[in-house]
Amino acid sequence: MTPMITKYLLEYYKRRLCRCFFLSRKFLFGFIFGILSTLSLFTPILLSCCLRPSAEQFESSSSLKILALTSTASEIPKKRDRILCWITTSPKMHSRAQLIKQTWGKRCDRLLFMSSIKDDILPEAIPLPVVDTYANLWGKTQEALKYIYRHHLDDADWFYKADDDTFAVMENMRYLLSHFNSSLPLHLGFKYQHPKVKNGFMSGGSGYILTREAIRRFVEIALGNGKLRNSRITQDSNCVLDHEGPEDLNLGICLEELNVTVGDSRDEKKVERFLPWSLEDMICGHLKNSGFWYLREFSYYPLRQDMKCCSPYAVAFHYVKDYQLKVYEYLIYRLRLYNH
């Protein structure tokens, strides 16, 4: 083979080799580009197939979204109503008032003691401008309501008045009050009947509950917001504003003339929650003892005997002796039943 022919063949195969390499590189680029294009087309489909939630997952996520969207104010826990407790006491009973502070009184949102002086035994006592006798309890009640109106009316939604020989179960009181509207003029407690009060009045012994509006009406309208006025709301009114007289009856008369509603404080089975006598007396003989004639004859609702006398959701007990305050505290809050 001549050198010229050899040179020609070499040039020819060189050009073919370069051309093959060039074509194979284009083919490689095209092949890779095709794969990438295919993936880009099918990726959304693959993702939708692989990542599509199951029916249970879909319902669960949808429920969460609906729950978030439908959470309304009605589902937010209701703000707890505040209860101010005010106790009528006297200097010789200040040691008993201290026992109330140590027992049921500590569960009130605000606790006030209405007395005639403050001393070392009860330094927080509020001295009211009254002659501190039982005969003047009605005057003391008026002064106490004026004091609350001026200094604490916005501190609570409900205002519970009790004597210093009362034990109250505040948890049961809150349960009772959850069925009433604190913005209305209301009066709650153990109800007595009397010819001067068409809808009855509440016993002062086991205590009674007033709303802010009830107190406002009594102080602003009946008492004239502390301004000097006649001893009666109107000329033909039965609302007596002298200092002497039965406190609970007089307050009931005045509140009725002020259109304050007297509520039914009994439980769902129509059993009393406010006990105007001691628990022992209510259970063991209030329908037989001659000393309880007033309770028998003037109770607004029919009384029940023995263990059926009193609601399991009792709110208040009256005629509780000093030592019994701690006994009630133990039996209600500390005694536990052993469960096997």
Rounded distance, CA 129 to CA 116, Å?
7
Residue 222 belongs to domain spanning = 83-333
Closest C-alpha to 178, from 70, 268, 311: 268
With residue 163 as reference, give the H or E element that holds it: strand 158-163
Phi, psi dihedrals of residue 261, rounded to the nearest 5°: -75, 135
The confidence score (pLDDT) of residue 15 equals 56
Neighbour tally for 225: CB within 10 Å: 13
Neighbour tally for 263: CB within 10 Å: 20
Residue 301 domain flag:
yes
Specify the CATH number for the domain of residue 164: 3.90.550
* b/e code 106-143 from CB counts within 10 Å (16+ = b): ebbeebbbbbbeeeeebeebbebebebeeebbbbbbbb
CB 111 within 8 A of CB 122: no
Residue 7 domain flag:
no
> 10-residue block means of pLDDT along the chain (340 residues)?
53 52 46 49 44 43 35 49 96 95 97 94 94 89 96 97 96 96 96 93 95 96 65 70 90 96 95 90 72 79 87 95 95 92
Paired tokens of 312:
């399991």
Residue 145 domain flag:
yes
Rounded distance, CA 196 to CA 158, Å?
26
Which residues are bridge partners to 228 per DSSP?
none
Rounded distance, CA 295 to CA 8, Å?
138
The confidence score (pLDDT) of residue 11 equals 61
Rounded distance, CA 261 to CA 108, Å?
24
Residue 32 domain flag:
no
Residue 296 domain flag:
yes
Q: How many domains is the chain built from?
A: 1
Paired tokens of 299:
């109770």
* b/e code 287-297 from CB counts within 10 Å (16+ = b): eeeeebeebee
Q: What is the identity of the amino acid at 23?
A: L
Residue 10 domain flag:
no
Rounded distance, CA 194 to CA 76, Å?
43
Rounded distance, CA 319 to CA 317, Å?
7
Prediction pTM value: 0.74
Residue 54 domain flag:
no
The confidence score (pLDDT) of residue 44 equals 46
The confidence score (pLDDT) of residue 39 equals 47
Residue 152 domain flag:
yes
Which residues are bridge partners to 113 per DSSP?
87
Rounded distance, CA 168 to CA 170, Å?
6
Neighbour tally for 220: CB within 10 Å: 14
The confidence score (pLDDT) of residue 63 equals 38
CB 201 within 8 A of CB 294: no
